[in-house]
Amino acid sequence: MALQVAIRRCFGEKCVTKVITDPDLTPDLTIRGVPIYRGLLDATAQAAMLEKLREIVALAPLFRPVTSRGKEMSVRMTSAGCCGWVSDQRGYRYEDRHPGGMDWPPIPDSVLEVWRAVSGTDRLPDSCLINFYEDSARMGMHQDRDEVDLEQPVVSISLGDDALFRVGNLTRGGKTESVWLSSGDVLVLSGEARLLFHGVDRLRPGSSQLLPKGGRINLTMRVAR
């Protein structure tokens, strides 16, 4: 995994991080302006990241969100970072604490390393949404637009079973394109593709051995505030 160098300099109480991206790190595929890095995380890196995620879930357990209309989502989720994305009858938003009242755990360094490698921005994410898909779970077409600065990217990491990822347009409807994402794949929503509608239609159960009981974990890092 080729990465960039992050140089941190402090002037009094103010610190600035300058990110230099490795020019050799190029996407294997681009779909509608969304770069996809196939197998950016190897098996060892995936297993190590999974252990960090287990630590997060032990502190901030997975919960099943509901839509503003009271319908349960098919995924379970939690977050890491300064704030976490939640959904209930009050709507979609970022909150400082888990619905159970506890603070969100920090984003693991291994996850931040991926952001630094592919995001193309000096800013670091303040939130990492962790979605767990069971075999029958899916994610309807949606935009990620609850963040304050929509010019900042969203970086997505896939772990576990393959998922059929669908990309649409800047408005709902119209023709779409789909691609299978495998464990260790990373993609970026940025620039003109930042607000494309996207979703997950289905999983390919048993396609990965990373999770003993199957399923898929999707991490999405964002600059929420």
Ordered DSSP codes for 53-98: HHHHHHHS--B--B-TTSPBPSSEEEEEES-EEEEETTEEEEESB-
* Helical axes 109-118 vs 43-59, angle rounded to 10°: 120
Question: In this structure, which amino acid lies at residue 26?
Answer: T
Q: How many CB atoms sit inside 10 A of residue 144's CB?
A: 21
Exposure b/e, 190-207, CB count within 10 A at least 16 = b? beebbbbbbbbeebeeeb
Vertex 219: Cα angle to 107 and 35 (nearest 5): 115
Q: Which residues are annotated as a binding site for Fe cation?
A: 142, 144, 198
Q: Which residues are annotated as a binding site for 2-oxoglutarate?
A: 131-133, 216-222
Cα 218 to Cα 129: distance, rounded to the nearest angstrom: 8
Q: Which residues are annotated as a binding site?
A: 85, 92-94, 131-133, 142, 144, 146, 172, 198, 216-222
Q: Where are the beta strands (DSSP E) in 96-214?
A: 127-133, 139-142, 154-160, 162-167, 177-181, 186-189, 198-204
SS3 50: helix
Q: Which residues are annotated as a binding site for substrate?
A: 85, 92-94, 146, 172
